[in-house]
Structure 1
């Protein structure tokens, strides 16, 4: 396995913890695979901890202190790296998303978070929490919009999404909200900032009918896949699992409309929403 690149310890608590873990592991004369065996995890999992793409959980911090002889260093410091403004089941995925170089995502029932507008995000958050105070909803929307800042870079990460036609036709918020949301996606695609394909209804059955898939690639760590359900989600780093979901994604792209036809459809639907709203 290629060694991780140097990290800037001042960039974040997690980067500092990852740099210290790498230093302690190398000082102990252990490879990532050897340390992983002692923690009952994969070597790639250790690599992700060192690269800062995965959060260090207290149980692993305790084992690391025991195996590497670091007294209670990792136990004392893992709490700082675990703080997040995102919900617990999504926090690790959101933080990995901000560090990756490529994202390939299939969305089944809603527009992916990175492509959402504030109005669309507000409608989704309100649907999730219909009795929440407005300030709670606005805080959730703020967090979601902060994630979209990664698209301010003109090239990284590469974002390739396959959006199910159902997500585009489900009126979320209002027709005006949907029209704005689809125009936003079309604008990103026209500027070549994202790659978008639509999986039409007539594509029939496919391997991701029961959920969504997000594959994330990194320069300095193994790939991850994030699988999300209703108020739940999990990251997987097992190479066989990642490979299986990558195959699923490739099958989805082969069944989806080509990018130009997808863009034409999205723009036509946006126009239809605008006309319906005026009527």
Structure 2
């Protein structure tokens, strides 16, 4: 989605306009009610449902990167295929890194994720505030559920290195959350009040809710719509049928590729 940002340098005042959808507040209220009522949100069924929502609802937001790259650079013919090959090569390189050096792959993944989440804050000019806001999304879950996040990172890293990474996330959490609170205040002052309120709710949810449920709320109902709205605005001349087909096809490829890489990593344990 970096191509989308490169096409829109203007400060964006984020309001309801499809960026903070009503669904975010509805799902957030449902999860808060369930938590208050003592309903388990970290059981096998609840976790499986949250994972399904995360995968199906989150993947489409990155499905238009190639189309956005084409629009941004006006690449055609051989050069376009070269760009696509480079894009695929990066994905393959990341998969290989994850298999060969899982801990390194996890660290790189978290760094890129923090930068990517920070791109949501188009109303801020200060890079430090953006980076802190992106980091806070990861750190909030770590500080709220250290044991669960450590176990998840151990699984992702294929060894005890994941626990070290989890402890590092916990260590940076207070600073990230403090700086992010400044970013939320600035966003509120700049007029992006719904976005500021929604981000504050998402961070609190990541601290209080089980990690998978909290992250699904943020990723599917706040982050993804933000980027889908930007992509649709930039690709407004793409027919709806092609838009939907592209999203479905690219999401299916991403899910299939992710499943294949996990299968390979299970067959090839780290040394």
Q: Which has the higher contact order (CA 8 A, sep 6+)?
A: 2
Whether TM exceeds 0.5 here: the answer is: no
More strand by share: 1
Q: Which has the larger radius of gyration?
A: 1
TM-score, normalised via structure 1 length: 0.28
